[in-house]
Amino acid sequence: MSTLEIKNLHKEYVDAYTGETVTAVGDVSFSVDRGEFVSILGPSGCGKTTVLNVVAGFDKLTSGSVEVGGKPVTAPSPERGVVFQSFALFPWKTVLGNVAFGLRMRGVPRREREPVARQYLELVGLEGFERKFPHELSGGMQQRLGVARVLANEPEVMLMDEPFASVDAQTRRKLQEDLTDIFQAKRPTVFFVTHDVDEAVFLSDRVVVLSSRPSTVAEIVTVPLERPRNWRSVLENPDFRHTVTHLTDLLAGGRAHGEEQAERLSGRVDSSSEPPVRADAGGES
Amino acid sequence: MALTSPAGRRGGKLSRRLSAALWFLLPFVLLAAVWVVIVEVTEVEMRIFPQITDVAGAFGELWSSGELFTHVGASLRRVVLGVIAAILTGIPFGILLGSSRWVAAFFAPLLRFSVALAGIAWIPLATLWLGYGERAVIFIVWNAMFFALAYNTMLGVQRIPTQLLRAARSMGTPRARMFTEVLLPGALPNIVTGLRVGLGYGWRGLVAAEIIAASAGVGYSIFLAQKFFRTDVIIAFMIVIGVLWLITDRAVLAPLERRTVERWGMKAVTA
């Protein structure tokens, strides 16, 4: 039933400068079901983008297995379309040309690919911009085009690598709402990489939390929110706040420094009767 | 005054173009004025430097005798053939270099070395191999342009963001089609730069090669005129060469750039 199945993914690479072997991904296993939205969340440098790159077929894994639709991943494929942080649109193609690109590469004739392309442009709210070039669009519109370009191929799974990290905060909120709407309408299978806790909770059915390097799965958290979702109601929802707090704690626990700090703080709260700092103890009473 | 008048600024496309053309011509007009005055004041002999009216006279002569068209025609034919050869070889070679880090690492030093030697320095060998004549001159034009074009194309391919290549691959682009679908258009800003630089080298190579290895053409004409102290003819042909270069740039390269890289918002930062 699961569309994407990752088992004991382990990835090492040799640092080009130091010559040392670096473990980018320690041991990661999880799966994404058909029509499910799963985010992978972790501190920066924890290897979450590496996981995505392996799934996309851009990077080779060292050991373990990654299967999509029951077939092991060996190379990039339109079955695993990627939405990039940098948009990665083709500047020399019009908006329509960008959306129709994948269909054209697979030999779909013009007469058939144009209506499909237009349908996906309409889905992301870009109708009327067919003849524009990407640089003539705003950042938000460019990323909508990035999403439409992938969905037009009807992939087994859509991979999204921090897709909204390079747009301004207001646009990001709007894009997140648009993405849940699109998800609601089309029910694609989505694997989403982010470091933004709110974003992960708002968008996902489940959130995979990675520990810092060498990364392992700290916990897989199910998001108890109904769909359809919008920011206004989600922000007022106690379940949302509770999940966000839980994930934030998990992330803080994953860092050595954060752990210390958390212990010190909790120590103060729990044992307020005996002051933890010696200087105080000597001075008073 | 008229150039910056409100009418000129508010006016349509035509008047804006007219004012741009006037600004373009202004330095040449000033240069011509200085020329007239200096030759007039110093009373320099024509065998050293001609007066502007002498050059105009020589030009008229060349025009009415048809010599101008014979020589310009011969030169243009060589430039066109050499440039076509350079485009057909330099761009694919540059893309090949750009798409493999190892091939690039191997050839890049050689290429940079060759850019300095391109064209003129090859004339002795070219005439040894191909004899004095058409083929040697075309070889020099090709050679002068090839390295600059290949080198810039390589840079252009290397500057295509990795994510763009990955996007194309993950949308099912077959390896063979990456060439035309991504590498060529992606490298185009630098290819245009390579064409500009290369055409400049090509013209210079042409003039030099014609001096040595041809019996017609603008370079040959300049050299022949020198033997008869015809500075007026020399200057007339020098102006012709400059104008031909400007026309190639304005009529071919600029429109190409406008329709592609400028339209796509990816104009290269020219060094």
Which of B164, B166, B169 is the closest to A90 by Cβ? B164
Q: Residue B260's closest chain A neighbor by CA?
A: A92
Residues B24, B133 within the same domain: no
Residues B110, B238 within the same domain: yes
CA A41 – CA A199 distance, rounded (Å): 10
* pLDDT value at residue B177: 92
Residues B32, B102 within the same domain: no
Which of A82, A92, A105 is the closest to B172 by Cβ? A105
Residues B102, B175 within the same domain: yes
* pLDDT value at residue B8: 44
Higher pLDDT, residue B159 or A43: B159
pLDDT at A31 over 50: yes
pLDDT at A264 over 70: no
Written as six digits, the tokens of A239 are 């379940």
Residues A276, A162 within the same domain: no
Measured at the CA of B253, the angle between CA B214 and CA B234, to 5 degrees, comes to: 35
Residues B234, B184 within the same domain: yes
B170/A90 touch (CB, cutoff 8 Å), yes or no:
no
* pLDDT value at residue A276: 40
Shortest distance, CA B189 to any CA of chain A (angstroms): 11
Element spanning A12, H or E: strand A2-14
Domain span at residue B34?
1-43
Q: Is residue A29 very low, low, confident or very high in pLDDT (cuts 50, 70, 90)?
A: very high
Contacts of A134 in chain B (CB under 8 A): 265
Residues B11, B93 within the same domain: no
What CA dihedral angle connects B184, B187, B192 and B197, to 10 degrees?
Answer: -120
Residues A159, A285 within the same domain: no
Answer whether residue B119 is part of any domain. Answer: yes
* pLDDT value at residue B108: 84
* pLDDT value at residue B47: 84
Q: What is the CATH number of the domain that holds A226?
A: 3.40.50.300
Sheet with A71-72: strands ordered across? A71-72, A63-68, A2-14, A21-33, A215-222, A206-210, A37-41, A190-194, A158-161, A82-83
Q: Residue A93's closest chain B neighbor by CA?
A: B264
Measured at the CA of B167, the angle between CA B164 and CA B168, to 5 degrees, comes to: 90
Q: What is the CB neighbour count within 10 angstroms for residue B255?
A: 10
Answer whether residue A115 is part of any domain. Answer: no
Residues B142, B79 within the same domain: yes
Written as six digits, the tokens of A243 are 């999940």
Domain span at residue A272?
256-285
Lowest mean pLDDT among A106-115, A160-169, A227-236, B108-117: B108-117
Q: What is the DSSP string of A150-169?
A: HHTT--SSEEEESTTTTS-H
Q: How many domains does chain B have?
A: 2
Written as six digits, the tokens of B112 are 């940079």
Residues B89, B218 within the same domain: yes
For chain A, state the CA radius of gyration.
22
Shortest distance, CA A16 to any CA of chain B (angstroms): 15
Q: What is the CATH number of the domain that holds B173?
A: 1.10.3720.10
* pLDDT value at residue B263: 87
pLDDT at A269 over 70: no
Q: CB contacts < 8 Å between A and B, how many?
A: 69
Written as six digits, the tokens of A285 are 């009473």
- Tens digit of each residue's pLDDT (9 = 90 or more) over A3-26: 999 999 999 988 888 888 888 888
What letter would DSSP give residue B177?
A: H
Q: Give strand pairing partners of B55.
A: none
Lowest mean pLDDT among A38-42, A108-112, A244-248, B211-215: B211-215
The CB-side HSE value for B87 (13 A sphere, CA atoms) comes to: 14
Q: Is residue A283 very low, low, confident or very high in pLDDT (cuts 50, 70, 90)?
A: very low
CA A176 – CA A169 distance, rounded (Å): 11
Contacts of A105 in chain B (CB under 8 A): 171-174, 177, 181
- Tell me the residues of chain A between 80 and 99 that have a Cβ less than 8 Å away from chain B: 80-82, 84, 86, 88-92
> Tens place of pLDDT for every residue, chain B, 271 residues?
444 444 444 557 788 888 888 888 899 999 999 999 999 899 888 888 898 899 999 999 999 999 999 999 999 999 999 999 999 999 999 999 998 888 888 888 888 888 778 888 888 888 889 988 889 999 999 999 999 999 999 999 999 999 999 999 999 999 889 999 999 999 999 999 999 989 989 999 999 999 888 889 999 999 999 999 899 999 999 999 999 988 888 888 888 888 888 888 887 544 3
Q: Residue B173's closest chain A neighbor by CA?
A: A105
B264/A149 touch (CB, cutoff 8 Å), yes or no:
no
Answer whether residue B268 is part of any domain. Answer: no
Answer whether residue B251 is part of any domain. Answer: yes
Residues A279, A222 within the same domain: no
CA B199 – CA B141 distance, rounded (Å): 9
Answer whether residue A92 is part of any domain. Answer: no
Which of A78, A84, A133 is the closest to B263 by Cβ? A133
What is the percent of chain A with per-residue pLDDT over 70, rounded to a whole number? Answer: 88
B161/A81 touch (CB, cutoff 8 Å), yes or no:
no
* pLDDT value at residue B132: 87
User: In a mutagenesis test of the B interface, which of A58, A90, A154 is the best target, namely the one with the most B β-carbons within 10 Å?
Assistant: A90
CA A48 – CA A62 distance, rounded (Å): 15
For residues A59-80, give the mean pLDDT.
Answer: 92
Which of A80, A88, A92 is the closest to B167 by Cβ? A88
**Is residue B57 packed enough to be buried (19+ CB in 10 Å), middle (13-18) or exposed (0-12)?**
middle
Higher pLDDT, residue A1 or B48: B48
Pick the closest to residue B143 from B167, B185, B184, B114 (CA basis): B114
**Is residue B77 packed enough to be buried (19+ CB in 10 Å), middle (13-18) or exposed (0-12)?**
middle
Q: Is residue B216 a contact partner of residue B70, using CB atoms and an 8 Å limit? A: yes
Answer whether residue B271 is part of any domain. Answer: no
Residues A277, A233 within the same domain: no
Shortest distance, CA A185 to any CA of chain B (angstroms): 23
Which of B173, B185, B265 is the closest to A105 by Cβ? B173
CA B199 – CA B241 distance, rounded (Å): 12
The interface predicted TM-score of the complex, written ipTM, equals: 0.84
Residues B31, B75 within the same domain: no
Q: How many domains does chain A have?
A: 2
Residues A285, A195 within the same domain: no
* pLDDT value at residue A1: 64
